[in-house]
Amino acid sequence: MNVLITGVAGFIGYHLAQRLLAAGLQVHGIDNLNDYYDVTLKKDRLSQLKDHPNFTFQFLDLCDRQGLYDLFQHGSFSHVVNLAAQAGVRYSLQNPHAYIDSNVAGFMNLLEACRHYPVQHLVYASSSSVYGANKKIPFAVEDNVDHPISLYAATKKAGELMAYTYSHLFSIPTTGLRFFTVYGTWGRPDMAYFKFVKSIQEGKPIDVYNFGEMHRDFTYIDDVVEGILRVMQRPPQAVPGTPEQPADEPYQLYNIGNNKPVALGYFIEVIEAALGKKAKKNFLPMQPGDVPITYANVDDLINDVGFQPTTSIETGIARFVEWYREYYG
């Protein structure tokens, strides 16, 4: 494999690059190092990768269409993993254009690059947010996702539709991964668990939304990366149609979640135990764009690639707290 990772300085991109490099593969990473959260953290992730002989990095934005085409023309990539995106549900209410630019226009440029410079498999990040306020649980990829409740979710749904179209028209094998609340070492400072640890450590109160009546399918980063690796090696195949059965495109979707929702109250207790400190809590109502529960059905992931996330919340949080104290002192 010669793998292109977009968003390589991001949380998931960094961890995936580490695993691929450890396996002896060639990795080319691109990132625009935007300032949605601390750029120093992104640069520190890159510093962990840059000295590896099989790693190359280029500062590049997906919105730079010509730059992207030039990269593909000379890159000869076998696999592309698109993890570049404008993240964050709440921020999409404040800066909607950033989501259209990156998650729609940028992804469109990437699809066009894969069309003109064919790859064996394009794997891209979607999100559990596409399920909106889905009442059926656990969430399955067959569920209707036509009612997103944030612009972030709408752009992720748009990405899935665009990928399907390119799989249909140009036979590009594409797989979308609906990630469920990924957490872990080197994580994103805008995520709740990161904010909780920081505030509790500093003796500051934490904001607990929906008065704590929320459940999340927290998924540890190592499990997410294992899922990505297995999916990468299994590009979807086109199946010719018959009079009785329409053709299948080389297109696939998977949930990557822990399949075990955790109550927010218990989640905070686990963080308190790992830190050895109690939290001061501000109980607040539900925020716009938020949902009361996420819960992944991962049957397809188990059946197709033989993997199910297994890291417990207790283990994952303990690892994160250890990293946080080492990194921030």
Closest CA to 215 of 280, 282, 291: 291
How many CB atoms within 10 Å of residue 125? Answer: 27
So which residues are the catalytic ones? Answer: 152
Cα separation, 245 vs 240, in Å, equals 9
Task: Tell me how far apart the alpha carbons of residues 55 and 17 are, in angstroms, rounded to a whole number.
Answer: 8
* Helix (H/G/I), strand (E/B), else coil: 172: coil
Q: How are beta strands 262-263 and 215-216 bridged, if at all?
A: antiparallel
> Which tokens belong to 83?
């993890």
The CA radius of gyration of the chain, in Å to the nearest whole number, is: 19
Measuring CA to CA, how many Å separate 93 from each of 38, 90, 193? 20, 6, 21
Candidates 147, 138, 72, 156; CA nearest to 299 is 138
Q: Are 84 and 7 in contact (CB under 8 A)?
A: yes
Cα 172–chain centre separation: 21
Q: How far apart are CA 72 and CA 41, in angstroms?
A: 28
Structure tokens of 16? Answer: 């995936």
Helices and strands (H, E) in the chain, number of each type: 11, 13
For 14, 45, 183, 234, 321, the CA distances from 186, given in Å and listed in that order, are 9, 7, 9, 28, 11
The answer to whether 111 and 38 have CB atoms below 8 angstroms apart is no
173, 248 contact by CB (below 8 A)? no
